């Protein structure tokens, strides 16, 4: 995983009005917390942060007033319609430290013939990984799976050093048989 470097400015004014002023300057209000330290309130360039957050669980090195902090995004709030960043909570991490994150689940391969459907019961997989070696996603092969087959969390191959943070018997994906539609009364009379 690549490390993204961003600059942040410490901020001392809080509240709705202060947050709006920060956003008008194309910056995003954020908080850094973790390791039992007092939370640090900062403002980060909005565009640079948006680009960094395109990678799930991005590892970010924040330069805050000359001090460097290694952080991962823990909670990202977006405006519901236009999707711009409203606020970000960062978790301070150290090299070698284990963190719990949610990895996106990607699938590859084709299901067995027969018009079956793949249902995602979980879109992300909670895992524990070393903070500087968080995978971007997990990939699950669904090649040849037939109706009734379920992929459990314990069935997913994880990279070295990554462990499940969810019950291994948790269902992640399942293959369901496509349901044929029964003709309605109007369709039956027009066909006759």
Radius of gyration of the chain (CA): 22
pLDDT digits over 45-86, tens only?
A: 999 999 998 887 888 999 998 889 899 999 899 989 988 899
What is this structure's pTM? 0.75
Structure confidence at residue 191 (pLDDT): 60
Q: What DSSP character marks residue 8?
A: E
- Which residue reads 């902090």 in tokens? 69
Q: For 30-45, what is the mean pLDDT?
A: 90
Produce one character per residue of 152-188: b if its CB has 16 or more CB atoms within 10 Å, e if not.
ebeebebeeebeebbeeeeebbbbeeeeeeeeeeeee
Does residue 91 register a pLDDT over 70?
yes
Q: Which CATH architecture has domain 3-93?
A: Beta Barrel (2.40)
Superfamily of the domain at 99-176: Ribosomal protein L25, C-terminal domain (2.170.120.20)
At 185 the pLDDT is 67
> Which pLDDT tens digit goes with each residue over 132-177?
888 888 999 988 888 889 999 999 999 888 999 999 899 999 999 8
Which residue, 49, 71, 74, is CA-closest to 60?
A: 71
| Res 189 pLDDT > 70 | no
Q: Would you list the domain boundaries of the chain? A: 3-93, 99-176
Query: Residue 192 pLDDT more than 60?
Result: no
How many angstroms separate the CA atoms of 26 and 128, rounded? 34
For residue 58, give the nearest of 72, 45, 70, 69 by alpha carbon. 72
Q: How far apart are CA 100 and CA 166, in angstroms?
A: 10
Residue among 59, 93, 64, 90 nearest 77 (CA):
90
Between residues 56 and 5, the one the model is more confident about: 5
Quick one: average pLDDT of 34-54?
A: 90
Give the tokens for residue 104. Answer: 């996106």
pLDDT for position 147: 87
């Amino acid at each position: 995983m690549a490390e993204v470097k961003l600059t942040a400015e410490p901020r001392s004014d809080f509240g709705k009005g202060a947050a709006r002023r920060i956003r008008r300057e194309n910056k995003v209000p954020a908080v850094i917390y973790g390791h039992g330290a007092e939370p640090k309130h900062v403002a980060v360039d909005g565009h640079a942060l948006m680009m960094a957050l395109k990678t799930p669980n991005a590892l970010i090195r924040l330069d805050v007033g000359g001090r460097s902090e290694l952080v991962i995004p823990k909670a990202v709030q977006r405006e519901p319609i236009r999707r711009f960043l409203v606020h970000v909570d960062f978790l301070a991490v150290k090299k070698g430290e284990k963190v719990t994150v949610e990895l996106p689940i990607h699938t590859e391969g084709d299901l067995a013939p027969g018009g079956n459907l793949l249902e995602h019961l979980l879109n992300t997989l909670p895992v524990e990984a070393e903070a500087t070696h968080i995978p971007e996603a997990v990939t699950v092969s669904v090649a040849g799976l037939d109706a009734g087959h379920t992929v459990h969390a314990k069935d997913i191959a994880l990279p070295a050093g990554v462990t499940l943070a969810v019950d291994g018997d948790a269902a992640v994906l399942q293959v369901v048989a496509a349901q044929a539609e029964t003709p309605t009364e109007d369709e039956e009379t027009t066909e006759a």
